[in-house]
Amino acid sequence: MSDTTRPKRYRMVSKFYKETYGEKVYKLPVALPLTCPNRDGSAGVGGCTFCGEIGAGYENRPAWMTVRMQLEENIAHIGPKYKAKKFIPYYQNFSNTYLPLEDFKSYMEQGCIDEAVGIAIATRPDCISNEYLDVLQDIQQRFQKDIYIELGLQTVNYHTLDKINRGHDLAQFIDAVLRIKRYGFNVTTHMIVNLPWDTMEDTIEGAKILSSLGVDQVKLHALYIVKNTLMAKWYEEGQITLISAEEYAERVVQFLRHLHPDIVLQRLVGRAPEDNTLFTNWSMGWWRVQDLIDDMMDELDVHQGDLCDYLNGKAVRKFIDGGQHE
């Protein structure tokens, strides 16, 4: 396993939680009975080409269970195991704002349990509107809970967005982030760093765009190939190839170096059960991929944000304050 005591050269979410709430905080996955607009025909059919029928929630309880039932079961398991007292219910699977406003309000309220310091809602950029944000603002004020919104983007390359059938474009992501930020909510963006059509340039540009938008947190993933998906068909037919673990680590390091130092990293590599996938983390365990990244940053003696020199008028900084930038 990865050495959790090893000093990190990037801002990890565990440290952010401890600074914000004074102790460890654990996210509790919640599944709702819903779907995505690129599955039901509103923004496409079939869903993202990499996404299986159960979505991303491999650790979720069944969606037929009430929110409170799911939270109680998870707390009963996680609480004693990790001596945890504070939690963030995480509405994880599919698009959790893609439902009628009243239903959305009810589900969000159910997550505001006493042990929760906030709620986290995973959704798509095209499922963010002022009306839903108004609901969350009301809940924030009534229940005194922090609001975390997690947006799936995956790549800033709009040609790749089309390839993976996201059903939204980069402009919609930018619009969603700007709207969320006006409400003062915390924004997390999910990125897949090794999509077959993307290059190192796409990876670096992704870090720059997220930094320029003032995104609060980032969750990085290595692409895994889920069985019985269109991506799996392409993979088995040799239509796509994936970069090596070493190349993945190189991309993550460059992403981190160009990322603003204040942005929090939720993770640098994802996890998925191998029995449901054709390819997962080069069959080497997520912690070994994490170690590759940490080792590379140590060897290069680099850290998050050391190449974040492109904001606030880079070309004119030489005329102002000896070249300092923000």
Other Cβ atoms closer than 10 A to 94: 27
| % the chain with pLDDT above 70 | 94
Three-class SS of the chain: CCCCCCCCCCCEHHHHHHHHHCCCEEEEEECCCCCCCCCECCCCECCCCCCCCCCCCCCCCCCCCCHHHHHHHHHHHHHHHHCCCEEEEEECCCCCCCCCHHHHHHHHHHCCCCCECEEEEEECHHHCCHHHHHHHHHHHHHHCCEEEEEEEEECCCHHHHHHCCCCCCHHHHHHHHHHHHHCCCEEEEEEECCCCCCCHHHHHHHHHHHHHHCCCEEEEECCCEECCCHHHHHHHCCCCCCCCHHHHHHHHHHHHHHCCCCCEEEECCCCCCHHHEEECHHHCCHHHHHHHHHHHHHHHCCCCCCCCCCCCCHHHHHHCHHHCCC
pLDDT (tens digit per residue) in 66-117: 999 999 999 999 999 998 999 999 999 889 999 999 999 999 999 999 999 9
Burial of 86 (0-12, 13-18, 19+ CB in 10 A): middle
CB 103 within 8 A of CB 73: no
pTM: 0.93
Instruction: State the pLDDT at residue 186.
Output: 98
Q: Which of 1-15, 93-107, 185-199, 308-322 has the lowest mean pLDDT?
A: 1-15
CB 108 within 8 A of CB 119: yes
Q: Output the six-digit token pair for 34.
A: 């819903």
Query: Which residues, 6 or more positions from 323, have their beta carbon under 8 angstroms from its beta carbon?
Result: 317
Domain spans in the chain, listed from the N-terminal domain onward: 13-305
How would residue 58 be classed by pLDDT, with cut points 50, 70 and 90? very low
Assigned superfamily of 13-305: Aldolase class I (3.20.20.70)
Q: Is the pLDDT of residue 204 over 50?
A: yes
- Averaged pLDDT of the chain: 92
Instruction: State the pLDDT at residue 4.
Output: 63
Instruction: State the pLDDT at residue 3.
Output: 63
